[in-house]
Structure 1
């Protein structure tokens, strides 16, 4: 494949992941809050994202068997068909079927993510990973804001069926770039342990558990603050159209800008600078939400916080994902990257539950303030540990080279 075709492919694949994820994590909480659900109940839906936390269990099979095209085509088609089927169901009486759909979509998207991340590690060299992760995060966040903004706007205008029909069309379009992916069948990787135990062997690599723990700390505070932004906007008096505008049009442009900024930082200045600037700047966006929740600034500050969240958070995520690719071994790309991604998902789930409990008991402002402190501490902990040589050997080599250059 040409470079342009590869970039289009990755953009489509990550957008396909972000689209349903954006709806279920951004639009659905707003709809649940509108229906009278408590913040704890809303945050409890994080348990339906369990496939993202457990995907390391089947990642070794993706590394071993078939081509990635044979994995991607049925997964992409199943997501599009699933959304089309949902368009034929009336959800006005209950959200239970939506929760079932959420679990199924997460299973499909988590498996697709295993394939896509492994493909990225194999096709991209260390120099290109920063820019490529900018495309990854840009595509994923664009999918999220389409799911959390555009689809919410369509729901407000026309209801469930047109919304899911739009989702099906968009997911169907992301299948097209996969048709141009051609690979030779891969020989099964040589493993001492059987595939069902391979993930445990990968987890035991020297420095790997420590690095997984550090990236969890890096993401916890940011995830805690972002978890209840939609319900906060709803409780602050914003209507569905306003929320859709903020989390759709404005957030879409901001997400692309943030992804581009993160890719440029990682490519031009190295991992350390990108990680430091991205991590501390995303903390600033959480501080804006804390100020808005304290009664300062009203709608203009909420809008500014939303834009800052997507710009600065996008840059921070690019830096983190680039680092995770550096830590993955090419021969076990899907397994290694998936283990790290699962660690992040587990941290995000814990952060979401924590956000719901803290906000329900103490209010939005204390919850956002706690996320600010945890986000800043997590960023500084990760950078300090990497400066001291923590993490897998292949990551240390790239970190030293990037710091010295």
Structure 2
């Protein structure tokens, strides 16, 4: 057993662990919107029910201690990965059934809770299996492979489904094959993890009495005792409010027929425009955002980066009114996604800077839970608003709803940011 720990480098299992983390997340929260649209589910229903799939990531902090107490992180990883593979297989199977929507949505909901649990276990295993030096070295690598999983899910998988739609002339079967393919990949990587994951000494089952040592109320109350916590929460909820509505409807807009106000793109074209080139631009914006903040500091960058996040939303207003050709859609979507990635970096860094004190990890978990809520709530209402207003006015409203988030920038405390930057 000790020999296995020494012979398997983190370079073998860290990339695959985080690749696996990204696949179900992107399928549940993004790809599901596309295949439900292709299966002729109403926009309002798609936006409403797929937005609720964010819920496990909103509340996962509440069952994080269970992962700590029961069994080992290694076991949690293996069992949740097996369960995620099964959930995706069920989704693939039921897409050809008459009542596919209810069954697949139930499977995706269960998969969302399992995926959120996998994330908790993987992050915990990362801290236990790697030394501090290794943790610093692999933080960029794990991020790269998570993003590659996003490209795989929203790009390659969608393009594959689109090609199958053409060759098979059977949309349900095409998507069943594509989602089934992802389930097979998770199953294959499960076998890889079964053979390569080490058994860290620190990753041992803890006694149940440790639950008495988890000060839930103290942790939560300390978070809400922060300076100007009301403005911090408002910032977290509103910073991406407009973008959250746009993200939920963007694929539907690209897929909808021109007579319904959409651009009428094929499934494969959406996979390339939004899921491949768009995601690559999103990643590039995030990388540049990190470099800019490292050079100039968050305090100077926060407002300009918020503008970079929100201003490109006007491209969707333009596309909704003009319905431009595909050759122009590529750069417009890519620029909007680049701005999203660039502006999102400032948001993420601010959350880290304000998660200080004795319970910084728990505070960050609470903040990211509120962040997920800030994605879920706008998504729930986006379908109703788009159906009522139509795409052009909906995207105008999206632009207007970015204003409250911009206003919160003038009220949030920045002393923690200044302190962190001057002490580095």
TM-score computed with the length of structure 2 as normaliser: 0.77
| Matched residue, 1:217 | 238
Q: CA RMSD in A?
A: 3.8
Instruction: Note closer, same or farther for the CA distance 1:335–1:13 as it changes in structure 2 (3 Å cut).
Output: farther
Residue 317 of structure 1 aligns to a residue whose secondary structure is helix
The alpha-carbon deviation at position 135 of structure 1 amounts to: 6.1
In 1, Cα distance between equivalents of 2:282 and 2:202: 35
> Could you tell me which of 245, 250, 253 is aligned with 1:229?
250
Whole-Å Cα distance in 2 between the matches of residues 357 and 124 of structure 1?
49
What are the ranges of 5 or more consecutive residues in structure 1 without an aligned counterpart?
A: 390-395
Give the corresponding residue for 1:23: 27
Q: Distance in 2 between matches of 1:205 and 1:192?
A: 23
Count of residue pairs the alignment pairs up: 393
Q: Per the alignment, do residues 191 and 166 of structure 1 end up closer, same or farther by CA in structure 2, a change over 3 Å counting?
A: closer
Structure 1 stretch displaced more, 13-22 or 84-93:
84-93
Partner of 2:61: 56
Per mean C-alpha deviation after superposition, the further-off stretch among 94-103 and 188-197 is 188-197
Which residue matches 1:171?
A: 186
Question: Quick check: 337-346 or 184-193, which moved more?
Answer: 184-193
Aligned to 1:143: 149
Match of 1:243 among 270, 289, 295: 270
Q: Which residue of 1 aligns with 2:310?
A: 283
Match of 2:287 in 1: 260
Deviation at 1:384, TM superposition (A): 4.8
Q: For structure 2, list consecutive stretches of 5 or more residues without a partner in the other structure.
A: 165-173, 257-262
Deviation per residue, 1:269-313 (Å, 9 max, x gap): 333345444322121331211211121634344322321233222
**Cα deviation, residue 13, structure 1:** 4.3
Structure 2 residue corresponding to 1:367, chosen from 387, 390, 394: 394
Contact 1:220–1:375 (Cα < 8 Å) also in 2: yes
SS at match of 2:276: helix
Question: Of the two structures, which has the highest relative contact order with CA contacts closer than 8 Å and spacing of 6 or more?
Answer: 1
Q: 2:419 aligns with which of 376, 389, 400?
A: 400
1:344 partnered with 2:371 = yes
- Say whether 1:270 aligns with 2:297: yes
Instruction: Report the equivalent of 2:260.
Output: none
1:9-32 deviation digits (Å, cap 9, x = unpaired): 665444433322322333322332
1:178-228: CA deviation from partner (whole Å, max 9, x where unpaired)? 715735148789898756656634543424554233211112121112110
- Asked if the contact 2:151–2:280 (Cα under 8 Å) also holds between the matched residues in 1, the reply is no
Q: What is the SS of the residue equivalent to 1:237?
A: coil
Any idea what the Cα deviations from partners look like across 1:234-292, whole Å, max 9, x if unmatched?
12211112112212332343233223223323333333345444322121331211211
What CA distance in whole angstroms lies between the structure 1 residues aligned with 2:199 and 2:346?
Answer: 27
Post-superposition shift, 1:232?
0.3
In the alignment, what sits opposite 2:43?
39
For residues 217 and 423 of structure 2, the distance between their equivalents in structure 1, rounded to whole angstroms, comes to 38
Partner of 1:392: none
What whole-Å deviation, never above 9, does each CA across 1:312-356 have from its counterpart, x for those lacking one? 222333332233233335864553222111111111111112322
Contact 2:356 2:363 (8 Å CA) reproduced: yes
CA drift at 1:231:
0.6
Q: How many angstroms apart in 1 are the aligned matches of 2:26 and 2:42?
A: 20
Structure of greater Rg: 2
Q: How far apart, in 2, do the equivalents of 1:376 and 1:136 lie? A: 34
Aligned mates of 1:166, 1:274 — CA distance in 2: 42
Task: Give the direction of change, closer, same or farther, for the CA distance of 1:83–1:192 in structure 2 (3 Å limit).
Answer: closer
